[in-house]
Amino acid sequence: MLAETTLRPEQLVLPLFVNESLSEPRGIPSMPGVHQHTLTSLRPAVEEANAAGIGGVMLFGVPARRDAVGTAACDPDGVLSRAIAVAAEVSDGLVMSDVCLDEFTDHGHCGVLRDDGSVDNDATLERYAEMACVHAEAGADVLGLSGMMDGQVGAVRDALEPGHEDVAVLAYAAKYASGWYGPFRDAVDSQLEGDRRTYQQDPANRREARREAALDIDEGADILMVKPALGYLDVLSDIAAMTDLPVWSYQVSGEYAAIEAAAANGWLDRETLMLETLVGIRRAGAAAILSYWALPAARLLS
């Protein structure tokens, strides 16, 4: 009765990985309980999400072929477009897709590169706009713009306007260049060497996140994201206070892996920490949370 914060299944979103090269689902060693799916195993995974009553799924694609510009990302028959179509057919919740090139480029960066190897922000925007339209056409309800290019929200909004104005834009407003993404790079077989510090945010900066959020709001974002979650609750709280838009957070792969590993050693209690971390992220201001624990947490809650 006196609890100030609620945590309900519909406030959770499950990230799902679909790998074009697999014939059977494959476990991700650094993320116990998480799999790369095939297009066939995706269907029952989404049905499980339905049964757990969670808010939706966020889809990531791992293509069979990569190149410098991430051609497969904009292929209507590509793995992610097909995964969106499958999920849209079965899902009771929202179908969300990652609009970013890093899984599709052979260098692993979130954008296309100039000759000197630096990321070309504006050339990347054109790719994102095209990818967003392909996803919308495939049936995505929400587009997750996770690449941290300047102007990405506006570019995608403009591209969607003729015909897909009902599709929502989830803007990763404040995404930090973080060590907590380590296991995700296994999950998508990332080709990245080096880091993303020229386009993701400096962990030292709090005020800059407010500037990033203000830009995304101006450009037409429908939902804002702060990522990772636990190390950035101050940022989440600031952004939730500055806007009436929904603000979400992503409890990322490393946050999941660290607690899973400690729990496997008997050093921490998994279920207690699962609910405590999620309610803490809600308390800091997240309307919804992307978490690899979405299913077990939803089951505990109901």
Residue nearest to ligand PBG (CB): 184
- Residue (90 or 205) nearer to ligand PBG, CB: 205
Choose, from 227, 233, 239, 285, the residue flagged as catalytic: 227
- Residue 37's region, left for phi above 0, alpha for psi from -120 to 50, else beta, is beta
Give how far Cα 99 sits from Cα of 60, 132, 167, 281, Å: 9, 6, 13, 24
Q: How many Å apart are CA 40 and CA 70, to the nearest integer?
A: 24
Among 75, 102, 216, 260, binds ligand PBG (CB under 6 A): 102
- Residue (93 or 228) nearer to ligand PBG, CB: 228
Among 14, 96, 100, 247, binds ligand PBG (CB under 6 A): 100
- Which amino acid, 143? L
- Residue (191 or 237) nearer to ligand PBG, CB: 191
User: Using CB under 6 A, which of the segments 18-26, 49-57, 98-106, 151-159 binds ligand PBG?
Assistant: 98-106
Q: Report if residue 252 touches ligand PBG, rule: CB under 6 A.
A: yes
Q: Report if residue 110 touches ligand PBG, rule: CB under 6 A.
A: yes
* Contact positions with ligand PBG (CB under 6 A) in 119-148: 146
Per-residue interface string for the shown chain with ligand PBG, residues 48-87, x marking contact by CB under 6 A: ----------------------------------------
| Collapsed DSSP state (helix, strand, coil) of residue 136 | helix
User: Using CB under 6 A, which of the segments 97-105, 120-128, 134-142, 205-213 binds ligand PBG?
Assistant: 97-105
227 is catalytic: yes
Q: Residue 44, Cβ neighbours under 10 Å: how many?
A: 12
Which secondary structure element, helix H or strand E, spans residue 207, and what is its range? helix 207-219
Scored b (16 or more CB within 10 A) or e, 263-285 reads: beeeeeeeeebbbebbbbbbbbb
Write down the residue that tokens 């496997």 correspond to. Answer: 264
Helices first, then strands: H and E counts in the chain: 10, 10
Q: Report if residue 176 touches ligand PBG, rule: CB under 6 A.
A: no
36 is catalytic: no
Q: Residue 230, Cβ neighbours under 10 Å: how many?
A: 18
Which residues, 6+ apart, have CB-to-CB distance to 285 below 8 Å?
236, 237, 239, 240, 241, 247
User: Using CB under 6 A, which of the segments 41-49, 96-104, 120-128, 274-282 binds ligand PBG?
Assistant: 96-104
- Residue (90 or 262) nearer to ligand PBG, CB: 262
- Residue (102 or 219) nearer to ligand PBG, CB: 102
Q: Report if residue 184 touches ligand PBG, rule: CB under 6 A.
A: yes
CA 147 to chain CA centroid, Å, is 10
Chain residues that interact with ligand PBG, rule: CB under 6 A: 98, 100, 102, 110, 146, 181, 184, 196, 252-253
Residues identified as active-site: 175, 227
